[in-house]
Structure 1
Amino acid sequence: MATSSSLLRVSSYGLSRNNITYPLFNYLDIDLVVSRTYCTTGTSNDVTDNRTSENITNVSRMSPNRYRQYHRKPPEMAYKDLIHKRNLYATYGNASGEDARLLWPSRKKLLDQEQEEKEEGKPLLERLAQIEADKKMEEQKRLQRHEKIEKNMAQMNKWITEYKKKHETVALQAKEREAKKEALLEEAREYFGYKIQYNDPKFQEMLAQKEETEKKEAKKKKKEEKLKKLADYLSRPDGKKSESAEPGKLKS
């Protein structure tokens, strides 16, 4: 294959080639080099090889190795150490062109790893057994948790009912306290003759006196009930006395 070239000169006089001037333009002065390639063997189909054809058809603008990886082909590497070779074989298998026998650890490497395991502690089999035991324990915990969730879900309706009942009880108690508070304020208004606030010291003093009076009345009532039970016990001439009226069972 050979290449020939000729010089074209474009000047203000025109196009010149081989000392012959062809008038074209009046304002340009450009030098052009025209190359022409021809084949001396007579067969133009052998000019391009497979790589050139592949580069021509590759319009992805990817690098050659990225293009090969995209088409599941191993990349071309100028230098490959053992780690690179193992990675290539693990990714592409026999298509990587690597010898699997050379990728296996040497006997010395295996002995060194075994010695390292002994120095670190437990051997590999024991560690694998420990890992398996940990997995079983995690699975057991997961099953127990699911069992607990199912048990709680079975009691969900009961708990919801209890919660609603408790909420209603709390609301009822709050309503009763509010009604009692309003009744006490109304009583204080009638006692003092004017509307009084709940945090007024006079109202708080009245509440303390009222509570003390209620305690005395409750204690007096309890004592009367006790005396009544004792009188009922003593008034029975026969031995048929109720257990609730026995002196030993009377609360002091």
Structure 2
Amino acid sequence: MSLCIRSKLLRPNFIGSLFRYSTSPVEALEQSEAVVDVDEDALAREAEIERKRNISRLNPPHQNLINGTRPYEEPKSLAHLTVKYNRKMYGKYGSASGVNPSICFPSKQDIAEKIEYESVAYPYTIKQMMETAARNRKEQQEKIEQRDREVAARFAKLGQWMKELNDKIAKKTAETNAAKQKKERLVEEVRRHFGFKLDPRDERFQEMLAKREKEQKKLEKQARKEAKEKVMIAKLQQQNAKISDAKK
């Protein structure tokens, strides 16, 4: 039994015995004050002993956490007065937390707010969401298949495109070479026209070259016109032949 408990148990009898055997009320009061002083000293020594026994040097809330009890017996901040905190305390310590378990159940307002939130955040049912997901997967699969068909069709035309590209390059090369040869022929004609070697940068040479180019373009235009007329005449002849055959 600790000193504090012994002092509490012995105090009434001891004080009564003082009054019983005292010679005067003043002496009894002095003796009782001395006993109280002794009792307070004993309590202080007991508290000091308990403090020295706490070798962890933890404060009381941390000691309570280690011992599995509620950290604070009384609220120390506004957070300790919230419903969320008290629900947490009841969930962790149960009835030993001293929290009324009724706060763990949602109120009518909480239920109404939750229903309103879910109606806005999740407006579709599980079946509707599953149908939407299936439809999206089907659309994505159709897009992939369509893309594969387009790639296959283009790959099938790759050989034709390569041939067309090569033909186009060859045609462009031929046109370039023909233009170069025509230019060389015109230059040679201009040189023969003068009958002596003349610098191509000479003004007389440039004027004669421009004149010959103009004449060459005129001749080419006339040749294209005649070729076009020949084609039209051939078509007319074919149509007349068909009409004659039809009449026969």
TM-score category by the smaller chain? 0.3 to 0.5
Normalized per residue, the structure richer in helix is 2
* Richer in strand (by share): 1
The structure with more radius of gyration: 2
TM-score by length of 2: 0.45
What's the TM-score once normalised by structure 1's chain length?
0.44
